[in-house]
Amino acid sequence: MALSIKQNISLKPYNTFGIEVVARLFTTIQSIDDFKALVKERAYLENEKLIIGGGSNILFTKNVDGLVIKNELKGINIVFEDGEWAHVKVAAGEVWHDFVMWSIEHGLAGLENLSLIPGCVGASPMQNIGAYGVEIKECFVELEACSLNDASLKTFSNADCRFGYRESVFKHELKNKYLITSVTYRLCKKPKLNTSYGAISAELKAMNISSPGIKDVSNAVINIRKSKLPDPEVTGNAGSFFKNPEVSAEKHGELVARFPNLVAYPLPDGRFKLAAGWLIEQCGLKGFEMNGAAVHDRQALVLVNKGHCLGKDVYDLSSYVLQKVSEKFGVTLEREVNII
């Protein structure tokens, strides 16, 4: 298919917040050859570039005066396997949840706790996505990415990506320098289930399942997520808007003295991770609405578009939440969503 660069395209269908903004230039790539052709185009060379996948971790606060490139690379292949492990190479444009379902159907464990996370596979290492006690860095092998300068292909190992909590090198030094084309995961044929985090065990019990498999754990996670989180198809949102903040043991002690019911989790280095949703809820902000943007009434970590609000309205609401949490707890929340 010939490369097509369109003008003045609405990005509302391409972001899960459902924010109406316009890209001055827009194109899709469905192969690495497409991208190699694109980097020679005048529209590419002369404009700022923004790469998107599922649009599930973006808040558009203005029109994009440049070129938006939608990554639509597809394909899932087992590139190595033995009696215990399979290495699966997944194109960056594959829908994350579809890949998780594929892995479960093929009896491959490791991603079941990450069911129903919105977005595409290419975003998974950028964010080091995680949920219910699992982060992708635990089963990540490598990724391939094209340089935005000349489309040359480079392989990044787990160590190269410098994963942290919702962090990687692609959010810092290598931000806007590479287009991720594929990610390879190491999945297990002999499942070691992780059901201790959050409400998974309770949900499995409610489902009358005493000896769960990976499909059961996935179903439990899906049930929990659906009960707490809004469907982006119905209510615009980007999932968790804020990171859970990490504080020193001393700060944790001060907070527990003032707030005995504080929700916190000990970290290996002696610090504590606080539940940002709990902090926001304690500020009385659950369900709080401002100019058509709101804190979700079932999960305070999530901000939602109640209808036709602007990206600026969501951003202003997030600033208000940051202010109130800082005033009450002396803790600074950090936005997880990319602000454009």
Average pLDDT, the chain: 91
Q: Is residue 156 scored above 90 in pLDDT?
A: yes
Residues 141, 51: Cα–Cα separation, whole Å? 23
244's CB contacts (< 8 A; 6+ apart) are 165, 273, 274, 275, 276
Catalytic residue among 103, 166, 246, 318: 166
Among 103, 115, 240, 318, the active-site one is 240
Helices (H), the chain: 32-38, 42-45, 96-105, 123-127, 158-161, 200-206, 214-228, 249-258, 276-282, 311-329
Local structure of residue 251 (DSSP, 8 states): H
pTM equals: 0.86
Q: Per mean pLDDT, which range of 125-134, 156-165, 189-198 is the poorest? A: 189-198
Q: Place 245 in a pLDDT band, splitting at 50, 70 and 90.
A: very high
pLDDT tens-digit readout, 275-320: 999 999 999 999 999 999 999 998 899 999 998 899 999 999 999 9
- Asked if residue 56 lies in contact with residue 16, where contact means CB atoms within 8 angstroms, the answer is yes
- Is residue 166 annotated as a catalytic residue, yes or no? yes
- Of 94, 144, 203, 336, catalytic: 336
In total, the chain counts a number of residues equal to 340
Of 5, 15, 12, the closest CA to residue 46 belongs to: 5
In the predicted structure, residue 130 carries a pLDDT above the cut 80: yes
d(Cα 232, Cα 58) in Å, to the nearest integer?
A: 13
pLDDT of residue 2: 61
336 given a catalytic annotation: yes
Q: Which helix (H) or strand (E) holds 183?
A: strand 178-188
User: Given this model, what pLDDT does residue 225 score?
Assistant: 87
